[in-house]
Chains A and B, each alone.
Chain A
Amino acid sequence: MDLSKETVKDSVNLLEVNNLNIRFYSNGREMKAVNGVSFDIKKGETFGFVGESGCGKSTTSRAIIRLLAENARVPDGEILYNGTDILKLSQEKLRKIRGKEIGMIFQEPMTALNPVLTIKKQMYEQFLGTGMTAKEKEEKAVEMLRLVGIPSPEKRLKEYIHQFSGGMRQRAMIAITLAANPKLLIADEPTTALDVTIQDQIIKLINKIKKQMGMSVLLITHDLGVVSQMCDRVAVMYAGYFVETADTLTLFSKPRHPYTKGLIDALPSTEKKNSSLMPIKGTTPSLSELPDGCPFGPRCPYCQEKCTLELPEMAEVEPGHMVRCHFSDKLIGASGLISIEDGEKQ
């Protein structure tokens, strides 16, 4: 794993999210999709959300540009972009942020791009209201396709998304999103639908363009491997809660939450050849019937009585490393517990 990323420190927050809560209502039932989430993204930084599907990572990212479903409510929280609260913006002002300031790429370009409009038409939508001439638009569009590594861009511009191959589709969507020069790119599982080799190319591409354009990136993924290749800092989400945030190196080397540990242990590893993968037992709780105490309690191997009664708060265990666990200090060497099991097996 490549953990040599330099952490960006002490720079300005581009995005700051404070105590964000999101609820879904369907058929008179309330689902607590996101609970008290706080984080910030600095200029030029890549921040990652990692967690199982349904943990609220996509919902949180969509809330940032207010793309939530009709039955979603945000009862509480603020989302500050360069100091202005996005949740309080008028529709008109929101539109100025969408695309131009915060751009988004989706998991499946095949469904995220309009199947009956050419790439060119969808790219040109980014230039609406910029006063660019037809020639400038054409040049910029070609430049963008070239930037993401699509060969013969003049020709491909006139094609439809179904005429592209898997990897090229994702490149095309990245090109369209970045054509508006966003300062923050939200990438929702950008590599999940791709083959491993193409996945690697896309990761490198995003990393390269990020540096070139000086963007920040919010990466949503369930794949810790992708996190290690892209992120400066990571938040681990479980059942709508942040359970641990840290810089990538710390998270991988000194995880303090049992869930994070579980995720890391579930990774296939080249170092521990003989050890079997350690899946996390049980399933995620229903968002409408969260347990009273720690949401991870029912699946946690170290669960105590206190955990079933009282929801732990996010607590800073060392600078920049927050954990939501009553017993986080006891878990410092907890890799010990696992490694004892490993030892027994070997």
Chain B
Amino acid sequence: MADKIKKKKKINISLLIGIIIVSAAIILAVCPSFFTTFDPEAIDSQSMLAPPSALHLFGTDNYGRDIFARVIYSARIDLFIGVGAMIVPFFIGTAVGIISGYYGGKIDALLMRILDIFMAFPYMVLAIAIVAITGAGIKALFISMWLVGWKEYTRLVRSEVLVVKNSEYVEAAKVLGYSDLRVIMRSIIPNVLSSAIVYGASDIVMCMMSGAAMSYLGLGVQAPTPEWGAIISGGKAFLSVAWWITVFPGIFLVITGLGFSLIGDGLSDMLRQKGR
């Protein structure tokens, strides 16, 4: 009994800290104006490249914009990119994985060949190729990340479906004459979804990172919209005189990412415990 309580406590630490961090980021995203009175896009020629001070907590950039305000206001768009870029591939990839694994045969072979083709591109290269076609911007960002993101879910879910498909309860459901849809909804999905969700938590981190990287390269979120990667990019030219432009948004990016990573780790620990 004591054993169970202790184990439960252990999971909660990862998960709890993760949830606290992510909740904090969500609060910043929902009401940034609560934390700063500065307008993140307001140019102030009187205080350009000012170091951190009581007035400008994180200093200002070359346009005199308050970095703290820009960093706070970025939370909204970065979370949106992270979640938005993850959620569509999550559903598409999972669905493809289920269909491929459950029906097998020719459908599976076809879908796997398509997967092979997408696997032939490194992540950034495919994303960049798409941006090259559609032109830079947040729309291009999403399309490219949706196109590259689904395949990991498909591989993960498909391999799980292959195991579950041969389990006795699925066999039983089939013998009872239940329709494929019912078998998939009642027996397959509940058993394969958890691993996709765990991967999803770490995928949000990867989506946020690549979204920021694309924006850093000038191919994602466009100026003057505040976004962590874009702010960092803007600070690159001023590394020697204004390190704060680069450093602070990065710290926020890392902490937010860590929050999602912790949730992912906590969830996978819980899952392993349940499996035992």
Contact = CB atoms under 8 A, between A and B. Distances in A.
A29 B7 CA distance: 12
Interface residues of B, number: 4
Interface in B115-159: none
Interface string B1-12: 011001100000
A178 B82 CA distance: 60
Contacts of B2: 27-29
Contacts of A28: 2-3, 6
B272 to A, nearest CB: 15
Contacts of B7: 27
Contacts of A26: 3
Interface in A11-64: 26-29
Contacts of A29: 2-3
A282 to B, nearest CB: 22
A28 B3 CA distance: 7
B273 to A, nearest CB: 12
Interface in B1-54: 2-3, 6-7
A289 to B, nearest CB: 10
Contacts of A27: 2-3, 6-7
Nearest to A26: B3
A29 B2 CA distance: 8
Give the interface size class of chain A: under 10
A37 to B, nearest CB: 26
A42 to B, nearest CB: 42
A27 B113 CA distance: 48
A26 B3 CA distance: 8
A198 B147 CA distance: 56
Nearest to B3: A27
B269 to A, nearest CB: 15
A313 to B, nearest CB: 31
A48 B7 CA distance: 38
Interface string B67-80: 00000000000000
Nearest to A28: B2
Nearest to B1: A29
Nearest to B7: A27
A29 B1 CA distance: 9
A228 to B, nearest CB: 37
Contacts of B3: 26-29
Interface in B150-199: none
Nearest to B2: A28
A107 B75 CA distance: 57
A28 B7 CA distance: 11
A155 to B, nearest CB: 37
A335 B6 CA distance: 48
Nearest to A288: B3
A41 to B, nearest CB: 36
A23 to B, nearest CB: 15
A27 B7 CA distance: 8
A29 B3 CA distance: 7
B153 to A, nearest CB: 32
Nearest to B4: A27
Interface in A147-185: none
B276 to A, nearest CB: 13
B67 to A, nearest CB: 47
Interface string B99-127: 00000000000000000000000000000
A27 B3 CA distance: 5
Nearest to A27: B3
B214 to A, nearest CB: 42
Nearest to B10: A27
Nearest to A29: B3
A158 to B, nearest CB: 35
A28 B6 CA distance: 9
B131 to A, nearest CB: 44
A28 B10 CA distance: 14
A258 to B, nearest CB: 31
B182 to A, nearest CB: 38
Determine which residue in A26, A27, A28, A29 has the highest number of CB atoms from chain B within 10 A of its CB, and name it: A27
Nearest to B5: A27
A28 B9 CA distance: 14
B10 to A, nearest CB: 9
A86 to B, nearest CB: 31
A59 B7 CA distance: 25
A194 to B, nearest CB: 27
Contacts of B6: 27-28
A204 B3 CA distance: 45
A266 B7 CA distance: 39
B80 to A, nearest CB: 42
Interface of A: 26-29
10 contacts: A26-B3, A27-B2, A27-B3, A27-B6, A27-B7, A28-B2, A28-B3, A28-B6, A29-B2, A29-B3
User: What are the 7 closest A-B residue pairs judged by CB atoms, nearest first?
Assistant: A27-B3, A27-B6, A29-B3, A28-B2, A29-B2, A28-B6, A27-B7
Given A28-B3, A29-B3, 8 more contacts: A26-B3, A27-B2, A27-B3, A27-B6, A27-B7, A28-B2, A28-B6, A29-B2
